[in-house]
Amino acid sequence: MFPLRDHNPTGKTPYVTYLLMVMNISVFAGYWGSLEDTRVIIAFFDAWAFTPALFSNGDNLIGLVTSMFLHGGIMHLAGNMLFLWIFGDNMEEQFGHVGFLAFYLACGIAATLAHWASAPDSAIPLVGASGAIAGVMGGYLLLFPRAKVDILFIFVIFFRIFSVPAWIMLGFWFGLQLVSGLGSTSEGEGVAYWAHAGGFIFGLLFTLPIFLRRGATHFWATNHGHPPHPDAKYQWATSSVPSVRRGHRPGTRIPRITRRKK
């Protein structure tokens, strides 16, 4: 289940969201060529990633911030930037440009500390923006629980795009992090589940002041949990594979169908 886009347009250009994406991509491009050189990349991550064991000894403080701009590979980077692109613009509109930057960094630091608390003696460096982005997702869930999100569902060879409320997609994602974190070893099996879960929770908490200023549950009731504006309309989308009608002869060609998004 992979999110593709939401139906929650914004009225302002999300400059900080774009800036964060550019920074993450640029930093990764700067050391991408060294990923195959084990000696170089280990030294680089030792200096700029977050290593819990070093932090426990009072070192590696800068890694609290710099680690959220590092990634372990192209797919790691691409997945994080997709989530930031989908959910970041709406949160930036709510917080304002400077406020959103502070919110993003605070979520990233809180997520990193949650990871440290789960494995304070770990010598494995932590990299990735997913903790900060999890905070963005937590805040989005609080403000827009019924915003529509298009997800790509893949099961073996079956795939289809569904539109679901944000609370289903984000709630499922958060639950998966909790279950995976509880079932993982102290080293996290290469995935910082507790950074994800911690970032999500802190992002929700950091968004509470805005939620309360908007009227809290009255804000939900007024819009029935939807964003306070019309959904984005995507004109064309490829339909799912059409079913064969009763009486359709095998071998007869079925025309490709497109469907207008409502």
pLDDT tens, position by position, 140-198: 999 999 899 998 887 777 778 888 888 999 999 999 898 888 876 655 457 889 999 99
Query: pLDDT band at residue 234, thresholds of 50, 70 and 90?
Result: low
User: Given a cut of 80, is residue 237 above it in pLDDT?
Assistant: no
Q: Are 222 and 155 in contact (CB under 8 A)?
A: no
pLDDT above 60: residue 68: yes
pLDDT band at 10 (very low <50, low <70, confident <90, very high): confident
Q: Is residue 239 part of a domain?
A: no
Residue 212 lies in a domain: yes
Query: Which pLDDT band, with edges at 50, 70 and 90, does 109 fall under?
Result: very high
Hey, what amino acid is at 244?
V
For residue 2, what pLDDT is reported? 82
* CATH code for the domain of 107: 1.20.1540.10
Instruction: Quote the CA–CA distance of 219 and 203 in Å, as a whole number.
Output: 19
| 246: confidence class by pLDDT, cuts 50, 70, 90 | very low
Distances (CA, A) of 67 to 52, 70, 94, 189: 12, 5, 26, 18
Helix (H) or strand (E) holding 135: helix 130-143
Domain range for residue 22?
Answer: 2-234
How far apart are the C-alpha atoms of 146 and 170, rounded to whole Å? 11
Question: Has residue 88 been placed in a domain?
Answer: yes
Least confident window among 4-8, 74-78, 90-94, 240-244: 240-244
The Cα-based distances of 223 to 73, 92, 198, 243 in angstroms read: 40, 20, 29, 36
Residue 147: closest CA among 165, 162, 163? 165
Of 80-89, 118-127, 211-220, 226-235, least confident by mean pLDDT is 226-235
Summarize the confidence of residues 22-36 as an average pLDDT: 93
- Considering the chain, what percentage of its residues have pLDDT values greater than 70? 82
- Apex CA 26: angle with CA 21 and CA 27, to 5°? 105
The domain tally of the chain equals 1
Confidence label for 262 from pLDDT (cuts 50, 70 and 90): very low
Q: Is residue 242 part of a domain?
A: no
Residue 111 lies in a domain: yes
Query: Do 188 and 119 meet the contact criterion of CB atoms below 8 Å apart?
Result: yes
pLDDT at position 258, please? 36
Assigned domain for 92 exists: yes
> Is the CB of residue 126 less than 8 Å from the CB of residue 65?
no
Let me know if residue 249 belongs to a domain: no
Confidence of residue 49 (pLDDT cuts 50, 70, 90): very high
Residue 261 included in any domain: no
Residue 101's pLDDT is what?
Answer: 98
Residues whose CB falls within 8 Å of the CB of residue 229, separated by 6 or more in sequence, listed in order: 9, 11
